[in-house]
C-alpha cells in the first residue's frame, strides 16, 4: 500500500488555520477526523511525525477516544511513526523512538501549538519519560489513569480544562512505545529541514527559465527571501534555524500574530517545515492543507503536485476524464463522520480484499486494473454504508457529484483531490488555485522533476460537503 504524510494533522498547521494561538476550530477538527476516516476506508497507511504524535489537537483528540484506539488494535498498519535519527541517537527501541518529541519539549526554546502555558507539555513529558524509564520502556497507562496520586492525575487536577488532550498525549506516546503493537522507525527518506527547503525553492525557481519573468513566481520568491532574511537576522545560531518552533518564538517577539508580516513568514516557514518532514519521513505521497494566500506553499515549487492515491504512470500516457467518467459510476452519498471508529473498523475489515487490490493497482501502469479495482472498492463501500447508515444520515450531496474519475496520465483523482482543467490538462488543485498560479507557471510546476506534494484536504472536504457548524 502507498503511504501518506498528512500535513494538516500537524499542530502548527491547525493553529495557523484556526487563526488563534493554541486553538483549533471545531469544524476543522471534525473535517480532519472525517478525512482521516476516508483514508482508513481506502486502505491507507498514514505516516506521522513525532510532532504530530505529541502536539496535534486532532491526533490527541483521536487517541483520547477508546473507539479509535480499538480501531488501531485491529488495523495496525494504518499509522506509522517516523522520527528523526538525530533525536533518537543510537537507540532503536520503541520507547526511545516514541519519546523523541517529549524529550525535545523539555528544551526552553520549544513551543507547543496546543498550550499557551509551557509547563503543561513539559509536565506530561516528565510523567511519560519517568514512567517508561522506571518500567523498562513500557508506559503504564492504566496506572496513570486510575491512580489518583499518579503524575497524570496530578496534571489533570492542575489543568482540568485540558484533560482530553493530556489523556491523548499519554495514550499516543504509549501506543507507539509498546513493542510489537505499533509501526515505528527512524526517517526512511532524505533528511532535510525547513531552512534547506526555503533555499532549495529559491534555487528551483531560478533554474527554470519559464519562471524567471513570471510575476506570480517573482512575488513568491520575494516572500521566501523575506522569510530567509528574517530567520538570518533573528536567529544567530545557524543550528537553530531548522526548528519551526524557534522561528515562531522569534516571530512572536517581533510581530503581532494577526499582522500581515506574521502570516507571510509563519505560513511560509510552516509549509517549508512540513515539506521537509514529508520528504524526510519517506512517505509515498502527502496531503497539504491550505492556509492564506500570504504564505508560500513551498513544496509546489519543487515538483509536480500529485494526489497521494494515484499511481506512477509513464509521462506520455494520456486519458480522457470523460471516458473514465462513463466507466466509473460509483455514487457515494455518505459522510464518514457519521460512523464511529468501531464501524469504520468493521467496514475496513470487511473490504480489506478490495482495498488491498485498490492500493496495489495504484503502483501499476494498467488503466484497466485501476478502473476495475477502484470501481469494485467504491461499490462495496456503498453497500456497507447503506447497511450501516440510515437514510436520514446520508450526506445531502454525493462525494464526487455523480461519479468517481481517475485520470491516469495526469495523475489526478477527483474523489481524493484534484480536478481536471479540460482545456490544458493541468491539475487545478485548491493549492494551485489559491496560490494564484497562472497557466504558464502551472505548466512549469507540473513538469517538475520530483513529486513531493499533494493537496487533497480542502477539495475532498468541499465535495463531501463536510462543512460543520462552529
Record the pTM.
Answer: 0.79
In the chain, where the domains are located: 3-186, 194-297, 321-463
CA separation for the pair 44, 2 (Å, rounded) = 7
pLDDT at 105: 93
pLDDT at 213: 66
Residues in the chain: 470
Q: Per-residue pLDDT for the chain (470 aa), expressed as one digit of tens each?
A: 778 888 889 999 998 888 888 889 888 888 888 888 888 988 888 999 999 999 999 999 999 999 999 999 999 889 999 998 877 778 889 999 999 999 999 998 888 999 999 999 999 999 999 999 999 999 999 999 999 999 999 999 999 999 999 999 999 999 999 988 888 888 888 888 999 999 988 887 777 655 566 677 788 889 999 999 999 999 999 999 998 989 999 999 999 988 999 999 999 999 999 889 988 888 877 777 778 878 888 866 665 444 433 333 333 444 333 344 334 333 345 667 778 899 999 999 999 999 999 888 877 767 678 778 877 887 888 888 777 765 544 443 333 322 222 222 222 232 233 222 222 222 223 333 334 333 333 333 333 333 333 334 444 444 444 443 43
> Which pLDDT tens digit goes with each residue over 43-63?
888 999 999 999 999 999 999
CA separation for the pair 155, 134 (Å, rounded) = 19
pLDDT at 466: 43
> Which pLDDT tens digit goes with each residue over 129-184?
999 999 999 999 999 999 999 999 999 999 999 999 999 999 999 999 998 888 88
Tell me the three-class secondary structure of the chain, residue by residue. CCEEEEHHHCHHHHHHHHCCCCCCCHHHHHHHHHHHHHHHHCCCEEEEEHHHHHCCHHHHHHHCCHHHHHHHHHCCCCEEEEECHHHHCCCCCHHHHHCHHHHHCCCCCCCCCCCCCHHHHHHHHHHHHHHHHHCCCCCCHHHHHHCCCCHHHHHHHHCHHHHHHHHHHHHHHHHHHCCCCCEEEECCCCCCCHHHHHHHHHHHHHHCHHHHCCHHHHHHHHHHHHHHHHHHHHCCCHHHHHCHHHHHHHHHHHCCCCCHHHHHHHHHHHHHHHHHHHHHHCCCEEECCCCCCCCCCHHHHCCCECCCCCCCCCCCCCCCHHHHHHHCCCCCCCCHHHCCHHHHHHHHHHCHHHHHHHHHHCCCCCHHHHHHHHHHHHHHHHHHHHHHCCHHHCCCCCCCCCCCCEECCCCEECCCCCCECCCCCCECCHHHHHHCCCHHHHHHHHCCCCCCECCCHHHHHHHCCCCCCC
pLDDT at 202: 84
Amino acid at each position: 500500500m502507498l503511504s501518506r504524510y498528512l500535513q494538516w494533522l500537524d499542530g502548527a498547521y491547525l493553529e495557523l488555520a484556526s487563526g488563534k494561538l493554541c486553538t483549533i476550530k471545531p469544524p476543522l477538527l471534525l473535517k480532519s477526523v472525517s478525512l482521516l476516516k476516508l483514508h482508513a476506508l481506502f486502505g491507507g497507511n498514514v505516516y506521522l511525525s513525532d510532532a504530530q504524535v505529541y502536539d496535534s489537537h486532532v491526533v490527541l483528540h483521536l487517541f483520547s477516544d477508546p473507539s479509535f484506539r480499538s480501531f488501531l488494535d485491529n488495523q495496525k498498519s494504518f499509522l506509522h511513526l517516523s522520527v528523526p535519527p538525530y533525536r533518537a541517537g543510537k537507540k532503536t527501541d520503541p520507547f526511545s523512538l516514541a519519546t523523541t518529541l517529549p524529550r525535545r519539549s523539555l528544551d526552553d526554546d520549544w513551543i507547543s501549538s496546543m498550550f499557551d502555558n509551557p509547563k503543561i507539555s513539559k509536565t506530561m513529558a516528565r510523567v511519560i519519560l519517568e514512567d517508561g524509564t522506571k518500567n523498562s520502556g513500557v508506559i503504564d497507562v492504566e496506572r496513570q489513569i486510575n491512580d489518583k496520586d499518579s503524575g497524570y492525575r496530578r496534571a489533570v487536577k492542575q489543568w482540568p480544562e485540558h484533560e482530553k488532550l493530556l489523556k491523548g498525549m499519554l495514550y499516543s506516546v504509549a501506543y507507539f512505545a509498546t513493542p510489537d503493537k505499533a509501526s515505528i522507525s527512524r526517517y526512511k527518506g532524505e533528511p532535510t529541514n525547513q531552512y534547506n527547503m526555503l533555499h532549495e525553492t529559491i534555487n528551483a525557481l531560478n533554474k527554470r527559465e519559464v519562471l524567471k519573468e513570471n510575476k506570480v513566481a517573482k512575488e513568491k520568491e520575494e516572500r521566501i527571501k523575506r522569510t530567509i532574511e528574517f530567520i538570518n537576522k533573528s536567529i544567530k545560531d545557524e543550528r537553530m534555524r531548522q526548528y519551526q518552533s524557534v522561528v515562531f518564538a522569534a516571530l512572536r517577539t517581533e510581530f503581532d500574530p494577526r499582522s500581515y508580516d506574521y502570516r507571510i513568514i509563519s505560513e511560509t516557514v510552516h509549509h517549508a517545515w512540513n515539506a521537509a518532514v514529508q520528504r524526510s519521513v519517506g512517505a509515498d505521497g502527502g496531503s497539504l492543507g491550505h492556509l492564506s494566500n500570504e504564505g508560500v506553499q513551498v513544496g509546489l515549487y519543487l515538483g509536480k503536485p500529485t494526489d497521494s492515491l494515484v499511481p506512477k504512470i509513464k509521462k506520455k500516457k494520456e486519458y480522457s476524464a470523460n471516458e473514465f467518467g462513463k466507466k466509473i459510476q460509483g455514487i457515494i452519498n455518505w459522510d464518514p463522520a457519521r460512523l464511529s471508529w468501531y464501524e469504520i473498523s468493521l467496514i475496513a475489515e470487511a473490504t480489506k480484499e478490495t482495498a488491498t487490490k485498490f492500493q496495489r493497482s495504484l503502483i501499476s501502469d494498467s488503466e484497466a486494473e485501476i478502473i476495475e479495482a477502484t470501481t469494485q472498492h467504491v461499490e462495496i463501500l456503498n453497500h456497507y454504508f447503506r447497511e450501516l447508515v440510515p437514510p436520514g444520515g446520508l450526506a445531502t450531496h454525493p462525494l464526487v457529484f455523480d461519479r468517481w474519475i481517475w485520470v491516469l496520465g495526469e495523475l489526478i483523482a477527483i474523489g481524493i483531490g484534484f480536478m481536471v482543467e479540460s482545456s490544458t490538462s493541468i491539475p487545478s488543485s485548491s493549492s494551485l488555485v489559491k496560490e494564484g498560479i497562472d497557466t504558464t507557471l502551472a505548466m512549469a510546476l507540473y513538469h517538475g522533476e520530483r513529486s513531493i506534494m499533494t493537496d487533497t484536504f480542502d477539495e475532498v472536504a468541499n465535495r463531501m460537503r463536510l462543512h460543520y457548524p462552529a
